[in-house]
Structure 1
Amino acid sequence: MIAGVLARATRVLATPLLPDDYLAFVDPLWSARAPKGRIVATRPVGPATTELTVRTGAGWHGHRPGQHVGLGVDLGGRRHWRTYSITSAPDAEHLTVSVTAVPDGSVSTHLARVARRGDLVGLGPAAGEFTATGPLLLVSGGSGITPMLGLLRGGVTTDAVLVHSGRGGHVHADDLDDLPAVVHRHDSTAGHLRPADLDDLVPDWRARTMLVCGPIGMIDAFTAAADAAGVPCVVERFRPPEPLDADGTGGTVTFTTSGVVAEADAVTPLLRAGEDAGALLPSGCRMGICHTCVGRLSVGTVRNLHTGELETAEADGDVIVRTCVSAAAGACSIDL
């Protein structure tokens, strides 16, 4: 342990500093190599949800409506990344995201309940393709309203209808009146919003592209309805699909850059196996969306836990895998 710390310290001291490093010493927001943001305001927007207003630094390259961003915070001596939908318009002065504290969620709890004005956060690049053109029907439930705010505030279309379901005091309830769209509110305490309700709420819904974000049951119900009606449908998930049952016994995973070796079964994501073994690995959404955790598979085979497909290292080409949704299918090596 001591030898490892000394080795890392020696590398830092022996590495020449670049101009960007000196700028970061003066003001962390000036760094283009390690983009950061500074929280300038916090606002409660739900029982367990806080909106963070962030002033972005030199390394931030903007976003498109409907995208998400990774926020990095240092907890317990480690940098942790989580991904959140962007709720501000691309031309807004500041970036805004809303974070809901989840049970046992150390990062979300810190951002929603502990973070204050003046705190620095790491910023990943904006990512995601949750968008569409033409007449839109936006269907959301609970905190699924957040990417819808980004779409509508960003002016993705002039013809949109939002149908939102939530209990009393739900997330961003006070902001719905300001949205540039026809809004139908459904109090979920009176029963779940169902696809059958659309004929009364939005009679022309079959002529619109549907975008859905919310609880898994809602997503499944409305995507099935869209498929049956032949309606294009785009989905944003805050949780990954349930992993498939996987055959096999896993294997030994070597993280070549970190020098960490882990034993993993056939259903444990490589990311978690590596972290449990002490590797400091990049991560973001941890559900296969943001591509922050990717690494090159240099040896062996892994299985995609969402699709069941196998990916095998190739001697003459790069095979890039997402460690948060991939598991060992025998001994393998990842360049992380």
Structure 2
Amino acid sequence: MFIEWHNNQPATMRCVDKWNETNDTVSIKLEAADGCHLHFTGFKPGQFVSLGFELNGKLEYRAYSIASMPGDDHLKLTIKKVEGGLVSNHVIEQFQIGDTVNVLAPTGPFNSVDCPPKTKVALLSAGCGITPVMSMASTWLRDRADVDITFIHMTKSADKTIYFDQLESMDAANDNFNFKLLLKDNSGTRHPQGRLDQEWLNTLCPDIAERTVYLCGPTQFMQDMESNALALGVAPEQFHQESFTPIEAHTENETGGVVQFDVPAFGVATEVAQGSTLADILEESGVPIIIACRSGMCGSCKCKVTKGEVSRTSTETLSEEDLAAGYTLACSSQIQSDVEVELA
């Protein structure tokens, strides 16, 4: 059996295991809530799902990369504690084995299928950015013996390294897998100490220009690594990165005009400021739309503009056919005229 998602609606899944990876990071294993034995083949290594929890009277969604592999009978997610993080802290402190959660369909353009590898790859990560590239590496080792993998990760110390023991085992067991860990504090380990700059990147992976590069981590880290990798000769078309960076909302344009906003199916008819973000107005109007990543990458807030105009800052998950039919992503669309909207 296979789990299915319909019309951007979430599936209900149950936590069947939970454990600490580090002192501030947990992994959870999710299976179908009805107990059916499922194989999850409907995602590509590197993609993410969005988890939805009822918190403080509101359904809150957040996106998390998938750490498991296609074909597994579960979804594995690894979640790091974030200071002030509503959902991440709920998962770490409150979400227990046996609890259920809403899960949106896997999505995301950063993956090893739509971004196919050469026979040599370099995976660059820092912190919890290790999750999607771990899924890629594990899947290649299982399915593609011809792919030569250099896995470079930077973090504070060995005990702060997510999947440390698993990566060490992968390194020892596979000739085509080379684990390069750079630590700010390397006490008691065989790994070097330093900061991953261009010189270190060249030292750890001197043939990086011959590889397809996949990158995930904090924003500044990714900006630095992109510059460093391209400077070392990586072809731009062979460089791929993940980002959940939210798009800045524009609540009002220079004219400060007022326009009409209608969602007939939900009895919404109101005046709003021209330039307002469509997602904000839908939420304020009580329309039951799911807005998960707020970066235009997950597609959960897809809706159709049947009349009027919006401007878009992302069309990441929309096809040409979607755009021609009037579909848009509410989180990254600004209202520019009188509009009428229906849910996808």
Structure 2 length-normalised TM:
0.76
Between 113-122 and 235-244, the greater mean CA deviation after superposition: 235-244
CA distance in 1, matches of 2:248, 2:194: 25
2:291 to 279, 283, 292: 283
2:329 to 314, 322, 333: 322
Deviation at 1:61, TM superposition (A): 5.5
Matches within 5 A, 1:67-146: 67-129=47-109, 130-131=111-112, 132-134=116-118, 135-146=120-131
Identity of aligned residues (%): 25
- Change in Cα spacing, 1:320 to 1:192, as seen in structure 2 (3 Å) is farther
Q: Deviations over 1:174-205 (max 9, x none)?
A: 33323453111122466642233221111110
- Change in Cα spacing, 1:328 to 1:249, as seen in structure 2 (3 Å) is farther
- Change in Cα spacing, 1:76 to 1:258, as seen in structure 2 (3 Å) is farther
Matches within 5 A, 1:111-260: 111-129=91-109, 130-131=111-112, 132-134=116-118, 135-155=120-140, 157=144, 158-168=147-157, 169-174=159-164, 175-179=166-170, 181-188=177-184, 192-228=195-231, 229-231=233-235, 232-240=238-246, 249=256, 251-252=258-259, 253-260=261-268
1:273 to 281, 291, 298: 281
- Change in Cα spacing, 1:31 to 1:139, as seen in structure 2 (3 Å) is closer
User: Is the 2:274–2:337 Cα contact (8 Å) retained in structure 1?
Assistant: no
Between 112-121 and 295-304, the greater mean CA deviation after superposition: 295-304
Other structure's SS at 2:287 match? coil
Deviation at 1:247, TM superposition (A): 5.1
CA distance in 1, matches of 2:281, 2:195: 38
Q: Deviations over 1:239-288 (max 9, x none)?
A: 2356689655375443343334463463x532133323433321222211
Q: List alignment gaps of at least 5 residues for structure 2.
A: 172-176, 186-192, 316-321
Name the counterpart of 1:24: none
User: Is the 2:151–2:180 Cα contact (8 Å) retained in structure 1?
Assistant: yes
Q: Deviations over 1:83-140 (max 9, x none)?
A: 2111011122321001223344322222222100111112222212322322111111
Between 284-293 and 46-55, the greater mean CA deviation after superposition: 46-55
Q: Does 1:56 align with 2:32?
A: yes
User: Is the 1:44–1:51 Cα contact (8 Å) retained in structure 2?
Assistant: yes
Name the counterpart of 1:334: 341
CA distance in 2, matches of 1:321, 1:265: 17
Other structure's SS at 1:324 match? helix
Between 253-262 and 274-283, the greater mean CA deviation after superposition: 253-262
CA distance in 2, matches of 1:92, 1:32: 17
CA distance in 1, matches of 2:277, 2:161: 31
- Change in Cα spacing, 1:263 to 1:195, as seen in structure 2 (3 Å) is farther
User: Is the 2:247–2:332 Cα contact (8 Å) retained in structure 1?
Assistant: no
Between 282-291 and 69-78, the greater mean CA deviation after superposition: 69-78
Deviation at 1:144, TM superposition (A): 0.4
CA distance in 2, matches of 1:186, 1:251: 54
- Equivalent residues, number: 300
Between 213-222 and 42-51, the greater mean CA deviation after superposition: 42-51
- Change in Cα spacing, 1:109 to 1:276, as seen in structure 2 (3 Å) is farther
Name the counterpart of 1:37: 13
- 2:278 maps to a residue whose letter is L
User: Is the 2:247–2:294 Cα contact (8 Å) retained in structure 1?
Assistant: no
Deviation at 1:150, TM superposition (A): 1.0
Q: Does 1:302 align with 2:310?
A: yes
- Change in Cα spacing, 1:217 to 1:251, as seen in structure 2 (3 Å) is farther
- Change in Cα spacing, 1:93 to 1:276, as seen in structure 2 (3 Å) is same
User: Is the 2:153–2:180 Cα contact (8 Å) retained in structure 1?
Assistant: yes
- Change in Cα spacing, 1:317 to 1:140, as seen in structure 2 (3 Å) is closer
